[in-house]
Amino acid sequence: MQVLEQLQRLSPERFLAIYQSLEQQGFGPLDNEVAKHLRFRPQAIRKLPFDQRARTARRILEQSRNAQMAYEILGAYLIKNARTLVTDFLDATGVQHQDGMIEDLDNAKPDAAKIASAIQALDQKYKPEDVTIYLAMCAEQWPSVRELDSAWRQRPAS
Q: Mean pLDDT for the chain?
A: 93
Helix (H) or strand (E) holding 148: helix 146-153
| Gap between the Cα atoms of 136 and 142, Å rounded | 10
pLDDT at 158 over 80: no
- Contacts for 116 with CB less than 8 Å, ≥ 6 apart: 147, 151
Does the reported pTM lie above 0.95? no
Please state, as a whole number, how many other Cβ atoms lie within 10 Å of the Cβ of residue 156: 8
| Gap between the Cα atoms of 91 and 126, Å rounded | 15
81-138: per-residue pLDDT in tens? 999 999 999 999 999 998 888 888 778 999 999 999 999 999 999 999 999 999 999 9
